[in-house]
């Protein structure tokens, strides 16, 4: 779970942060924050959406605190492997429709070889088994070339 807003109090004085999670993850996260009694930074906004069913752009546009004219930085680490190739591209394309020039995105994804059984590293094998066990399977379609 991302913890940027809680790790960077100085930056939270200058930035509006929109923390986007799958509804199940965000429900768990908010519950955990309540248990810990951590105060939410004033400029932290939670968005709960499922990229396989909903549009990030629509969710952002529905928020009065989101200002589309302001340059934005999108941190999309550790997410693409849970989406199909089409869902990943749909989200990436939709972001380009709303952000001004000079905005940035960082994302990661697994190499096309990652799931070829004879090339699979022990780390990926373990990760794949673990994520399957907790019902968050890595979607192999997202990393294979079509």
Ligand X SMILES: C[S@@+](CC[C@H](N)C(=O)[O-])C[C@H]1O[C@@H](n2cnc3c(N)ncnc32)[C@H](O)[C@@H]1O
Q: Which residues bind ligand X (CB under 6 A)?
A: 1-2, 21-22, 25, 49-52, 77-79, 82
Output the smallest distance, CB 39 to ligand X, in A. 21
Output the smallest distance, CB 89 to ligand X, in A. 14
Residue nearest to ligand X (CB): 78
Give the distance, in angstroms, between the CA of residue 116 and the centroid of all CA atoms in the same chain. Answer: 25
Q: How far is CA 105 from CA 21, 24, 92, 95, in A?
A: 16, 24, 9, 9
Buried b (16+ CB within 10 A) or exposed e, 59-78: bbeeeeebeeeeebebebee
The nearer residue to ligand X, 28 or 111, going by C-beta atoms, is 28
The nearer residue to ligand X, 108 or 111, going by C-beta atoms, is 108
Output the smallest distance, CB 17 to ligand X, in A. 12
């Amino acid at each position: 779970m991302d913890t940027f807003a809680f790790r960077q109090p100085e930056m939270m004085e200058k930035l509006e942060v929109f923390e986007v999670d799958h509804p199940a993850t965000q429900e768990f996260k908010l519950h955990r924050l309540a248990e810990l009694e951590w105060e939410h930074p004033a400029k932290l906004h939670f968005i709960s959406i499922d990229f396989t069913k909903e549009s990030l752009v629509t969710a952002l546009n529905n928020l009065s605190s989101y200002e589309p004219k302001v340059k934005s930085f999108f941190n999309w680490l550790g997410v693409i492997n849970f989406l199909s190739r089409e869902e990943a591209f749909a989200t990436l394309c939709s972001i380009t429709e709303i952000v001004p020039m000079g905005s940035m995105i960082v994302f990661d994804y697994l190499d096309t070889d990652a799931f070829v059984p004879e090339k699979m590293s022990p780390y990926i094998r373990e990760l794949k088994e673990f994520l399957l066990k907790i019902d968050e399977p890595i979607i192999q379609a997202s990393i294979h070339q079509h």
